[in-house]
Structure 1
Amino acid sequence: MATRRIGIIMNGVTGRMGTNQHLIRSIVAIREQGGINVPGEDTIWPDPILVGRDEKKVRALAQAHGIERWSTNLSACLANPDDVIYFDAQTTTRRADALRAAIAAGKHIYCEKPIATDVATARELAQLADSAGIKHGVVQDKLFLPGLLKLKRVIDSGFFGRILSIRGEFGYWVFEGDWQSAQRPSWNYRKEDGGGIIVDMLCHWQYVLDNLFGRVTAVSCLGATHIPERIDEQGKSYECTADDAAYATFQLENGIIAHFNSSWTVRVYRDELLTLQIDGTHGSAISGLRECKVQSRVNTPRAIWNPDVPNSIRFQDNWMDVPDNETFTNGFKAQWELFLKHVVYDTPFRWDLYEGAKGVQLAELGLQSWAERRWLDVPELTLTKES
């Protein structure tokens, strides 16, 4: 079989996620493995052009990773018919205009989440893409984590019986930037620049819950800005106008209750930065980024509350590891391969811009819930181009 080149315009890849996950661990990794081998078809060879506003940064990034093409002129890139995919990893506030331009140029769309800052714009983008007859997708990387893939295997087996509740803990301490440099960019903490953990993480929890457990039908969310001032990349102090922690409870269509604590102001005392506990009538599971453990009802110890005597039970000893049983690749890379095969060979890909709009909707309602201090219903979006 021959090799089939596919040109990709990659915009915003000089940022942390764009560089590490989408360029190095996805596109570069695919090239290093010789492309994407599709049985009975040509091998897909991604040929990216890196786009950024800072010429020095984008040129250095391209040279460092053996990428021959780079540009600071997005309009010129979109005008090139040899590049058929547009990928966007810019800050959220810049995304919608760039996606509109790419859709107008007839490019297939793949982009980071959230796809927009509000649900009306998110729906508009999805409908524009459909009307243009192009393929479109949104990054939903946590579905491809080894821990969640193993959890999906446990769910599909019927192990839980009836699932009752989900408790999620996500986050870590992001340094303020004074005595140690911050691990996240300063725009994350400015609402006017699209920052905030509710906008960021509720999009994730929507697709995790929707794909693994059931549709979210109601939300109650409390946000907080625990650290009011931080130091930016230039060493200057700035006011934090966006939330750095979110405490959200969700009701699902099947009666499951889910609660997620998301924080950039928490010190980690758990095995992984993301931990989900799922409790069911027949068993429970603890799932993280890479690991998944289970405890069945027959292995559940009899816990008795008695603070007057030392606890005699080592609770962790009664959990069993779910084995890998397969080789897992980087989650971003796995979804990139699926999208590229979808574009070239029309294989199934269900994580489209409409799915991205659902995440934006939940984040928007989470912010509204916080502002109004009340529960809000999550209406089911009508997600067709005729709507």
Structure 2
Amino acid sequence: MKPLHMYTFVGALMSATLFFFIYTVPFLRHFQEAHRLLEHRSGLVLTSQRGQVVKDVHSASSHQVIVKAETAHPIATKSLLNIRGARRSEVRNEKSKSIANTGNTFATKRHGAGATRNITSWTLQPRVSWTLQPRVSCDARTMLVFLVCSAVHRFELRDAIRATWGGAAHSVRLFFVLGQPEARYRHLEGAIVNESRVHGDVLQSNIVDSYANLTLKTRAALAWTVTSCSATYFVAKTDDDVYVNVRDLLQELARMMRAGARRFMMGRLIRDAKPDTDRKSKWYTPRAIYANRTYPPYLSGSAYVISTDLVTALLGAATRRKLFWLEDIYITGLLSRDVSAQLIDNARFAYTKVPMSDPCHYTSLFAAHELTPTELRTVWAQIHRPDSNCAGSSKEHFRASHSFR
């Protein structure tokens, strides 16, 4: 081979190698991450755009949003391309917005009403419908609405809440937010209908009930409160394993209103949290899904309160922002930043396990997380027994509504 041809061959080989490592390897790596997430979060959105629950993944049409291993490859490919395009667009938008920044710390993050967002395949917005709605509605006395996101099969936790803090104040309404049972819990459909008939506090949507669908469930429930509980002052979202000190929470909210607090979200603030890169983790989120190194400040999803003058703004922002599967980060972090909401950190919201050695300690908290049904009943009985020495252990119904009007 002539020297000139040899140089040409070597140069072409080096160029091909460089192209492979610069473009092909990162693409394959991000594709694999997206694919793993889709497999890890199987069932992320199991509804059709017409609002129907998908019963058979093998009969899915092009109008249905399916995230299953069988369809992960084409979905991951389209998702990755959309994400890469979205990143380039957002970089250009951020640069242009930074020039016009007038000092507002949220100015470079806000998106106008006409902004368009690239929606990936698993974040198409399903049309939500309600299969079961509460029999007991809000009225003029309702000051605080609790939306308790509960898994379909956790009957004992719901019953424990009803028997304890769930009925502790006449100015409060509590609704359990459920979705449609997954295949393994399909046999519980009749029990859910009977539970709704007996208690009248079940709000069930057509969204498949899975942890990965919690953002969809919560957002849909917030939209429901706008039309069904429009006169209330506050909406609280909690998990179904949370104990709430309703009386003290109402009194604190009344104090804040008298002080003029508006457009706020209150809970336990978390800063500088990083996406979980452990593929075995429940919260695994690869860079193909969330590219930033840290999440924005957000409130723990175990329990937080939203002033209702903020709910409509959050829902409006949700129509302009790509859906993110971690509910607390999406609603209290990303959306709250979009609408310049005030995030209030309150240490009386405990999002980790509080020892049961002294149940009276729960009277100093607004909310405590990770309780079993037995522990919920034990704490309540200890605080409210006739000979209790716990502070604030009055056995009368809490009457804080006068503080609001």
TM-score w.r.t. the length of structure 1 is 0.26
- The structure with the larger Rg is 2
Indicate the structure with greater strand content.
1
TM-score w.r.t. the length of structure 2 is 0.26
Q: Which has the higher contact order (CA 8 A, sep 6+)?
A: 1
